Amino acid sequence: MIAVRGVSKVYALGSVRVEALRGVTLDVAAGEMVCIMGRSGSGKSTLLRQLGLIDRPTEGTIEIDGEEVSGLPERRRSALRLAKLGYVFQEYALLPELTAEENVYLPAMMRGGGARQRRAKARELLARVGLEDRARHRPKELSGGEQQRVAIARSLINDPVVLYADEPTANLDTASGRTVMEALSQLNRELGVTVLYVTHDPAERVHASREVHLEDGVLVGDGIPA
């Protein structure tokens, strides 16, 4: 599903060069749930940004679902992000003026299709994450954990082949974080969507089928969680 070859990312801060990633090579099979771990500044989120086509690597190549994507023009990258990739962010990124249901189906509006089908699918996805009774509520009427589950439902509206989650529980209490991770794990099992998630919490390793460790931008560990 994902093939990463020699990916490096260098940021120039004035005259200073910061090597955020250094020669990362990684393969992820379809249906895996991969936990990306490392200390703050290790390159976890930078790697996810490259894989999610939000940023471009300085060197190396990335292949997703059989297509080399790192050198594509921005219009094609945008189309791939919409059609094949789902995103869950630490800060939820919900629009406050929209209901939970409207937030979920918003990305589907960008692809066209019927409004009735979009709404039905949004309600189905909210039910999958246990929020069928909160569809008409706006973000301010939801807890942090509920908002993050809305974000998970939204990430699935266009049937992505890969879902990326960047520190999805960092702003949540322990109980809410556990609920969010269990929702991601259940969707991975039931829908077969490939999931890559970044976390700083060792307790969240239990949800992964595989664990990747970064240190100073270098891949230093790759295997089954202990």
> Residue 195: which domain range?
2-223
The neighbouring-strand residues paired with 36 are 198, 212
The number of domains in the chain is: 1
Q: Is residue 164 very low, low, confident or very high in pLDDT (cuts 50, 70, 90)?
A: very high
Residue 68, pLDDT score: 94
Distance CA 180, CA 152 (A): 9
Q: What DSSP line would sit under 150-172, residue for residue? A: HHHHHHTTT--SEEEEESTTTTS
Which residues are within 8 A (CB) of 64 and not within 5 positions of it... i.e. 6 or more apart? Answer: 1, 2, 51, 53, 80, 84, 85, 161, 162
Closest CA to 185 of 212, 165, 171: 165
pLDDT recorded at residue 167: 92
pLDDT band, very low/low/confident/very high, at 226 (cuts 50, 70, 90): low
CATH of the domain at 191: 3.40.50.300
pLDDT digits (tens, 9 = 90+) for 52-96: 999 999 999 999 999 999 889 999 999 999 999 999 998 899 999
Q: Please state, in angstroms and rounded to a whole number, the distance separating the CA atoms of residues 15 and 122.
A: 48
The whole model's pTM is what?
A: 0.91
User: Residue 2 pairs with which residues in a beta bridge?
Assistant: 28, 64
pLDDT band at 10 (very low <50, low <70, confident <90, very high): very high
Identify which of 109, 118, 111, 121 has the alpha carbon closest to the alpha carbon of residue 79.
Answer: 111
pLDDT at 193 over 70: yes
Among 10-14, 35-39, 137-141, 150-154, where is mean pLDDT lowest? Answer: 10-14
Question: CA 160 to CA 183: how far, in whole Å?
Answer: 16
